[in-house]
Structure 1
Amino acid sequence: MSAADVLAILQGAVVTVTLSLVGILMGLPIGLGLALLRWADVPVIARMVAVYVSVLRATPLVTLLLLLFFALPNVGIAIGPVSAAVLALVMNTSAFNCEVWRAALMNFPKEQYEAAQSVGMHASLRFRRIVLPQIVRVSLPGLVNEMSLLIKVTPVLAVVGVVDITRAAVRIGAETYEPLPPFLVAIAMYAPIVFALVSLQRFIERRQLAAEAA
């Protein structure tokens, strides 16, 4: 492998990290919002959210991506490969995040919420001060696992022409007829990305434990 080949895979890593971060940063709050709608059991809306989440969780990411990429232009919505990739990632991960958040909300002790209500805390303050800190701690391992999976499924974006780490490695292997070296480099680049997520999770958990002990 030449230096240019390594640089090409590095450029693919930038694409992987960028798209994954966008998906994560948008998918987390959207998933939380969907979970809150189900937790609040809003009539009709909660049922619609449940169906929406179930459909997205059952749909393979590559199928969702191709549907968005080819179907939206047919209804007058122009969409490029990167936009389709971001939209598919956000829709996919927000559905799975919704279930992680909802599990934490379902197990949240309601007596704490009712106690805060009895002393006059309004709904938004109760959520920020009482509910959110506790469900974040409970949900963190599941959310980080979903983030890691999101990073590892980004190679499917290649079907619409997005060049990520794996796509770049495949191209180089095809050009050089030596597929092993570029894939070893690709693995070496995926590892620190996922390790950074796990390290962030442990850092947040330590901060939470320190705050509780104080």
Structure 2
Amino acid sequence: MNAFDYWSIFRGALATVTLSLASIALGVPFGLGLALIRWAKVPLLNRFVIGYVSLIRSCPAVTLTLLIFFALPQFGISLDPTPAAILALTISTAAFNCEVWRSALVNFPREQYDAALSFAMPRALRFRRIVLPQIWRASLPGLVNEMTLQIKSTPAVAVIGIVEITRAALRVGARTYDPLPPFIFALVLYGLIVYVLIKTQRVIERRQSVERRA
């Protein structure tokens, strides 16, 4: 491998990080919104969310990516590969994030919410001050776990032409007829990305622990 090969795989890593961060930034709040609909048992929407989560969790990311990229043009919506990839990854991770958030909401002590209600605290303020801080702490490990899985799911979007880490390593291996070095380098890059994510989780958890003791 020469310097250009390393740079090609590193560019694939940048694509992986960009797609992952974009889909995570959209999927985490979207998943929270879906979980709140389940928690509140909103008529009709609750059934829709149950069906959505069940369907998407059973659908492989590569199948969802192909469906979005090739099916949407049939309805007059044509997306470039990058937006289509972000949309597919967001739809996928939101379904899993929904279940992580919902688990925290189910275990949330409802009497705290009812106590705030008795003081006529507005709904948005109740959620922001009482519910969200507690379910965020409870959901953080599960959300970070889903984020790491999301990063490792990005090779699925290679089917629509996105060159991420794995595809870049595959191209280099095919050109050099020596696939081991590029895939080892790709593995190192994946490890570094996930390490940064886990390190960030630990920093947040330590900060939350200090805040609780204060």
TM surpasses 0.5: yes
| Aligned-partner residue type, residue 177 of structure 1 | Y
The answer to whether structure 1 residue 28 and structure 2 residue 28 are counterparts is: yes
Q: Specify the alignment match of 1:50 in structure 2.
A: 50
Residue 157 (structure 1) shift: 1.0
Counterpart CA distance in 1 for 2:117 and 2:208 is 24
The answer to whether structure 1 residue 167 and structure 2 residue 142 are counterparts is: no
Q: Specify the alignment match of 1:71 in structure 2.
A: 71
The answer to whether structure 1 residue 207 and structure 2 residue 207 are counterparts is: yes
Q: Report the 3-state secondary structure (helix = DSSP H, G, I; strand = E; otherwise coil) of the residue aligned with 1:153.
A: helix
Counterpart CA distance in 2 for 1:63 and 1:168 is 21
Counterpart CA distance in 2 for 1:72 and 1:122 is 40
Residue 120 (structure 1) shift: 2.0
Q: Specify the alignment match of 1:131 in structure 2.
A: 131
Counterpart CA distance in 1 for 2:151 and 2:133 is 26
Gaps of 5+ in 1: none
Cα RMSD for the two superposed structures: 0.6
Counterpart CA distance in 1 for 2:129 and 2:142 is 22
Counterpart CA distance in 2 for 1:78 and 1:144 is 32
Q: Report the 3-state secondary structure (helix = DSSP H, G, I; strand = E; otherwise coil) of the residue aligned with 1:182.
A: helix
Q: Report the 3-state secondary structure (helix = DSSP H, G, I; strand = E; otherwise coil) of the residue aligned with 2:64.
A: helix
Counterpart CA distance in 2 for 1:36 and 1:58 is 21
| Aligned-partner residue type, residue 43 of structure 2 | P
Q: Specify the alignment match of 2:96 in structure 1.
A: 96
- What percentage of residue pairs aligned between the two structures are identical? 61
Counterpart CA distance in 2 for 1:137 and 1:201 is 11
Gaps of 5+ in 2: none
Q: Specify the alignment match of 1:87 in structure 2.
A: 87
Counterpart CA distance in 2 for 1:148 and 1:171 is 24
Q: Specify the alignment match of 2:182 in structure 1.
A: 182
Number of residue pairs aligned between Structure 1 and Structure 2: 214
Counterpart CA distance in 2 for 1:18 and 1:98 is 22
Counterpart CA distance in 1 for 2:135 and 2:10 is 36
Q: Specify the alignment match of 1:109 in structure 2.
A: 109
Q: Report the 3-state secondary structure (helix = DSSP H, G, I; strand = E; otherwise coil) of the residue aligned with 1:120.
A: coil
| Aligned-partner residue type, residue 47 of structure 2 | R
Residue 119 (structure 1) shift: 1.7
| Aligned-partner residue type, residue 62 of structure 2 | V
The answer to whether structure 1 residue 140 and structure 2 residue 136 are counterparts is: no
Q: Report the 3-state secondary structure (helix = DSSP H, G, I; strand = E; otherwise coil) of the residue aligned with 1:138.
A: helix
| Aligned-partner residue type, residue 17 of structure 2 | V
Q: What TM-score, normalized to structure 1? A: 0.99
Q: Specify the alignment match of 2:122 in structure 1.
A: 122
Q: Specify the alignment match of 1:4 in structure 2.
A: 4
| Aligned-partner residue type, residue 182 of structure 1 | P
| Aligned-partner residue type, residue 58 of structure 1 | S
Residue 136 (structure 1) shift: 0.4
Counterpart CA distance in 1 for 2:159 and 2:51 is 27
Counterpart CA distance in 2 for 1:115 and 1:199 is 36
Counterpart CA distance in 2 for 1:187 and 1:44 is 45
Counterpart CA distance in 2 for 1:43 and 1:74 is 31
